[in-house]
Amino acid sequence: MSAAFYLLVRLDKREKLLSVAQALDQFSQIIRWDAVDGYYGLVIKATGNPRELSRHLEKLYGVTELSVCELTQDNETTTDGDDERFRSYVFLETDRGKREQIRRFLGESDNVAFCSPCLGKFDGVAVVHGETFDEVDRFLNEQVRPLDGVLRLKQDRIIHLDRI
């Protein structure tokens, strides 16, 4: 069991996001959560036992899929002004022999807030940021997707519900 993990939550309808998010207050192991626009609707960072939290969340109305990414190393840092930038979670599937090279590239990039290796459905998780979502997309499409060893990636744009 890792010290921290990401739980990726897919909902049957986006309208249920707020009711599911409000239910998260009851779980003390949750470090934070972000509403996202992409394949998933919610990304949760938590500590403890991912299976236990998953069992509780599966009971919430509207949750159709849960994927766990257990962090083998938590490289996340926060910097002032991150909330003012446009950010996306990027979940990577990579060729085993190229993982370190890909992580090194992402870790050295100015567009990447952090990149952490993980176990589960994905090999790595990163947060990519920019002045606009177009800048984030351009970086992913021109710099990350073409990297030798990137098999697939899922991008989920972080949505600030208080700004809608």
So where are the chain's domains? 4-71, 82-163
Q: Quick one: CA dihedral 3, 48, 51, 42, positive or negative?
A: negative
Rg (CA), the chain: 15
Q: Which listed CATH number (3.40.50.150, 3.30.420.40, 3.30.70.920, 1.10.620.20) goes with 82-163?
A: 3.30.70.920
Which residues are paired to 11 by β-bridges? 63
Q: List the structure tokens of 35.
A: 């509403």
Please report the pLDDT score of residue 94 as a whole number: 96
pLDDT digits (tens, 9 = 90+) for 112-153: 999 999 998 899 999 999 999 999 999 999 999 999 999 999
pLDDT digits (tens, 9 = 90+) for 81-92: 556 679 999 999
- Domains 4-71 and 82-163 agree in fold: yes
Instruction: Answer for the pair 156, 36: CB distance below 8 angstroms, yes or no.
Output: yes
CA gap 86, 35 in Å, rounded = 13
Q: List the structure tokens of 126.
A: 């990163």
Nearest to 17 by CA among 41, 38, 46: 41
Sheet strands (E) in 75-161: 86-94, 112-120, 124-130, 150-159
pTM of the model: 0.88
Sheet strands (E) in 12-111: 30-37, 42-47, 63-71, 86-94
CA of residue 103 relative to chain centroid, distance:
15
pLDDT band with cut points at 50, 70 and 90 for residue 1: very low
The CATH class for the domain spanning 4-71 reads alpha beta
Mean of per-residue pLDDT scores for the chain: 89
pLDDT digits (tens, 9 = 90+) for 48-97: 889 888 988 888 777 888 999 999 988 887 654 556 679 999 999 999 99
